[in-house]
């Protein structure tokens, strides 16, 4: 079993060695993204593993098929960078990764606290020796109503973490979890939008959820609402969020993800001009916190992602399927 892994970070290497030895796989690595041109060199390779900067489109899939590569794993939970339908057409099998929800849940709570305690302007001031308190008064979570949109694994973990703060917790999910009904108040989406002081998104990205936080949704929210997004950037309409910040309808915004973040996040752009104008504009506001899609990035999650990336390919080839295989 020969596997080549792309976009490999230094922190993944020990886990790669461990999992490859455990599964008896011959694994080679590259720090580069996988391109259609690179596909020509992959003859004799059974499967490839990537991260989110590689776009698995028709051109790449055709190249992989021509080279005889039958399997592609992405070491990410999200897979909107992969053309799942076309892969099925050409007979290349795909899988994604999964990891425990705790790291993202903890990061979500941190984003809430950063937004509520106005930590961004406090850090700015400290850098120029301004230690005054004017304008930095925060709010306490225990006095607020937090709306959790989506009660899958990460949403559930966020709810558990919020339990220690003593706040009121509302939840919306098309499929409410019976075991959470004594912990949260399940409400419809509109009620959550109208009632919550903080709204945190943990909804998968689908066509039906793209730009679900738009002008219409924001108009229903409380004035001064705090919006948290550590899920998918495309869930929010950035123009609508910007208007909400400018008009002070939105009190604070903290996001670990951003629409069209590829080519910016997870790369150094120190000497470059940021071409995503929406990102470049909105990040200026003192009540907007942007982080570089790093909520997932913990030691435990890195190990899980590497294991899924290798094990998924091995199991699809040797056992005929794997738990995280993707289908159209």
In this prediction, residue 262 has a pLDDT band, given cuts at 50, 70 and 90, of confident
pLDDT higher than 90, residue 76: yes
Q: What's the mean pLDDT in 150-155? A: 97
In this prediction, residue 199 has a pLDDT band, given cuts at 50, 70 and 90, of very high
User: How many Cα neighbours within 13 Å face the side chain of 152?
Assistant: 13
Domain ranges in the chain? 2-99+299-326, 102-290
> Mean of the per-residue pLDDT values for the chain?
97
Instruction: Please pick, among 259, 261, 307, 315, the residue that the annotation labels catalytic.
Output: 261
**How would you class 55 by CB atoms within 10 Å of its CB: exposed for 0-12, middle for 13-18, buried for 19 or more?**
middle
Residue 159 corresponds to which tokens in the numbers above? 């709810």
pLDDT one-digit tens code per residue, 270-293: 999 988 999 999 999 999 999 999
The residue behind tokens 């219409």 is: 216
**Residues with Cβ within 8 Å of residue 317, at least 6 apart in sequence:** 1, 46, 47, 70, 71
Instruction: Please pick, among 293, 307, 311, 315, the residue that the annotation labels catalytic.
Output: 293
Fold (CATH) for 102-290: Rossmann fold (3.40.50)
Q: What pLDDT, on a 0 to 100 scale, did the predictor assign at position 11?
A: 96
pLDDT higher than 90, residue 294: yes
Instruction: Please pick, among 232, 234, 311, 315, the residue that the annotation labels catalytic.
Output: 232
The CATH architecture one would assign to domain 2-99+299-326 is 3-Layer(aba) Sandwich (3.40)
Query: Phi and psi at residue 132, in whole multiples of 5°?
Result: -75, 160
Whole-structure pTM value? 0.91
Q: Of the ranges 51-55, 104-108, 204-208, which is most confident?
A: 104-108
215 as an active site residue: the answer is: no
pLDDT one-digit tens code per residue, 97-145: 999 999 999 999 999 999 999 999 999 999 999 999 999 999 999 999 9
What's the CA gap between 87 and 72, in Å, rounded?
Answer: 9
In this prediction, residue 234 has a pLDDT band, given cuts at 50, 70 and 90, of very high
Q: What pLDDT, on a 0 to 100 scale, did the predictor assign at position 295?
A: 98
Largest Cα span, the chain: 65
In this prediction, residue 72 has a pLDDT band, given cuts at 50, 70 and 90, of very high
What's the CA gap between 320 and 163, in Å, rounded?
Answer: 42
What's the CA gap between 319 and 193, in Å, rounded?
Answer: 45
Please check whether the two domains, 2-99+299-326 and 102-290, share a CATH topology. Answer: yes
142 as an active site residue: the answer is: no
232 as an active site residue: the answer is: yes
* Distance of alpha carbon 280 from the chain centroid: 20
């Amino acid at each position: 079993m020969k596997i080549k892994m792309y976009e490999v970070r230094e922190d993944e290497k020990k886990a790669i060695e461990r999992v490859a030895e455990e599964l008896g796989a011959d694994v080679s690595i590259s720090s580069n993204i996988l391109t259609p041109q690179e596909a020509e060199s992959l003859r004799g390779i059974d499967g490839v593993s990537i991260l989110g900067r590689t776009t698995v489109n028709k051109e790449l899939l055709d190249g992989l098929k021509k080279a005889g590569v039958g399997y592609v794993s992405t070491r990410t939970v999200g897979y909107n960078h992969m053309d799942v339908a076309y892969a099925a057409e050409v007979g290349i099998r795909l899988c994604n990764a999964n990891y425990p929800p705790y790291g993202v849940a903890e990061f979500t709570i941190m984003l809430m606290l950063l937004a509520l305690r106005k930590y961004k302007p406090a850090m700015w001031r400290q850098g120029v020796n301004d230690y005054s308190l004017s304008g930095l008064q925060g709010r306490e979570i225990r006095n607020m109503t937090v709306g959790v949109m989506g009660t899958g694994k990460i949403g559930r973990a966020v709810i558990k973490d919020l339990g220690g703060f003593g706040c009121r917790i509302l939840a919306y999910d098309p499929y409410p979890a019976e075991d959470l009904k004594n912990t949260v108040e399940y409400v419809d989406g509109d009620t959550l939008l109208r009632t919550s002081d903080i709204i945190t998104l943990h909804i998968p990205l689908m066509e039906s959820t793209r730009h679900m936080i738009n002008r219409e949704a924001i108009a229903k929210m409380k004035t001064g609402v705090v919006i948290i997004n550590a899920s998918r950037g495309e869930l929010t309409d950035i123009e609508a969020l910007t208007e909400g910040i400018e008009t002070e309808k939105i009190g604070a915004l903290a996001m670990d993800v951003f629409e069209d973040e590829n080519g910016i996040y997870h790369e150094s752009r120190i000497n470059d001009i940021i071409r995503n104008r929406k990102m470049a504009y909105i990040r200026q506001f003192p009540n907007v916190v942007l982080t570089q899609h790093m909520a997932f990035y913990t030691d435990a999650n890195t190990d899980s992602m590497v294991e899924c990336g290798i094990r998924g390919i091995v199991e699809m080839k040797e056992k005929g399927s794997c738990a995280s295989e993707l289908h159209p």
